[in-house]
Amino acid sequence: MSSPSHVADTPITQRAQLVEYLASGEKPRGDWRIGTEHEKFGFRLDDLRPPAFDGERGIEALLQGLARFGWTPVQESVDGNPPRTIALLRGGASVTLEPAGQLELSGAPLPDIHQTCVELGTHLNEVHLVSDELQLGFLGMGFQPKWSRADMPWMPKGRYRIMRDYMPRVGKLGLDMMTRTCTVQVNLDFASEVDMVKKFRVSLALQPVATALFADSPFTEGRPNGYLSYRSHIWTDTDPDRTGMLDFVFEDGFGYERYVDYLLDVPMYFSYRDGVYVDASGQNFRDFLAGRLPALPGTLPTLRDWSDHMTTAFPEVRLKKYLEMRGADSGPWSRLCALPAFWVGLLYDDAALDAAWDLVRDFTLEERHALRDGVPKHALKLPFRGATVRELALQALEISAAGLRRRAACNIDGIDESHFLDPLLEIASSGVTAAERKLELFHGEWNGDIDQVFRQFAY
């Protein structure tokens, strides 16, 4: 989840500005970049508990330790208390905190996946060096495998306090989403409105395939939960006003204006004013545009308000000034590099994008929803059109690999980006997800001891 945006406080006086803001994300192909984000669970090595924010072994101490590598601390004050370090910035990248202290790297926009993977490796190495000193570890999975919601700490960020109060009013699992999930996502560019629409439709239709390939959240409080991607299931009962498959994306006439209309109907959480989060939860941005927002009567929004509001919608694919692919569980380093490879191969090569669109263009609304609703439990084994999602995944991976080879973005050894798909090809070929492998271990050599997941799968 984002920190306050750094967009200018330009007043919004007409709806057209909101459309123009989205359109301003258009870039020529030569300027397309890849931004990869991932989250991970911290735990104390002695008792496996998630670290609190405070204390010698706390999350703030970790952030302060990471600052030695050239990161600039970002501080925030809540309720008039002294400012605390809640994020780090360096060269277009940031390290931020999810509500329960999940550590997130939001990578810099980079031209190829080789550089993305180096960035990820550098970050994980820096975290490892500091966390070793603090006797902490980090785990990449989609859902916290051991601890209850009550066991999870809360970070001192004003945004999260507002969301914490609001979530139980609109869904049963929103607080679990905030405190016990981790994801990996990739942010990709578009050249025009037409290009955005095609990429949005392809990525939305194939998002369940990514969810299946990355499924890695089969445990809740130390026991199997009946799902392979419980993280994905959680989004189905978080907040129906701001989640889901966005059926309107596939309707004739979809474009920037229609997405703006959708966002205007997403209830607000807050407005960030003078360093303070003003609680506007459940209120309407359309009222804000008219100067009638109950939380700030007579005040008009700015583009920063709009930018912040855009981050509070959580569909399977999200449009900002770029497209965000949001369907995957977090995991090990190799799969963190595989996610951008999967989507770049599909979306950044014209022939691959055409082939991917041909693959999904005749999916019905009912089929898209059946994929979204069935994949969290069944992943690659979900039946689809006389076969399973596994066969669909293999087709998508073949298209992606060809797209990456045509991109021909090679490292110094002349190797292109397609090898980053290898972990996904292994999963799709075997039909066995990371979640299923962990379940086999749990019922086998682990003898039902969930603690082993921290010992065997930590970064």
Q: Is 305 a member of any domain?
A: no
Q: Read off the CATH number of the domain in which 364 is found.
A: 3.30.590.20
Task: Say how many domains are in the chain.
Answer: 1
Q: Is 11 a member of any domain?
A: no
| CA neighbours closer than 13 Å in the CB half-sphere of residue 443 | 8
Closest-CA residue to 355 (of 389, 416, 406)? 406
Check residue 57 and report its DSSP letter.
T
Q: How far is CA 339 from CA 61, 408, 436, in A?
A: 30, 18, 19
For every residue of 368-436, DSSP letters joined together read: HHHHHHHHHHHGGGSEETTEEHHHHHHHHHHHHHHHHHHHT---TTS--GGGGGHHHHHHHHHT--HHH
Residues 6+ away with beta carbon under 8 Å from 128: 138, 459
Residue 6's pLDDT is: 59
Q: Is 285 a member of any domain?
A: no
Closest-CA residue to 222 (of 439, 449, 48, 455)? 449
Q: What span, in angstroms and rounded, lies between the C-alpha atoms of 62 and 250?
A: 44
Q: How far is CA 9 from CA 14, 57, 83, 290, 321, in A?
A: 15, 38, 23, 17, 17
Mean pLDDT, each 10-residue run in order, the chain (459 residues): 61 94 98 98 98 97 98 89 94 97 98 98 98 98 98 95 97 98 98 98 98 98 98 98 97 98 97 93 96 96 96 98 97 96 98 98 98 98 98 98 98 97 98 98 98 97
- Residues forming beta bridges with residue 105, ordered by sequence position: 38, 95
Residue 13's pLDDT is: 87
Q: Is 280 a member of any domain?
A: no
Query: Tokens standing for 260?
Result: 């703006």
Residue 5's pLDDT is: 54
Query: Tokens standing for 414?
Result: 């002349």
Q: Is 3 a member of any domain?
A: no
Residue 182's pLDDT is: 98
Instruction: Note down the domain range covering 194.
Output: 16-266+313-457
Query: Tokens standing for 418?
Result: 């397609």
Query: Tokens standing for 357?
Result: 């669109």
State the burial class of residue 75 (Cβ atoms within 10 Å of its Cβ: 0-12, 13-18, 19+).
Answer: exposed
Residues 6+ away with beta carbon under 8 Å from 139: 40, 41, 43, 145, 453, 454, 457, 458, 459
Q: What span, in angstroms and rounded, lies between the C-alpha atoms of 368 and 392?
A: 13
Q: Is 409 a member of any domain?
A: yes
Q: Is 295 a member of any domain?
A: no
Q: Is 9 a member of any domain?
A: no
Residue 109's pLDDT is: 98
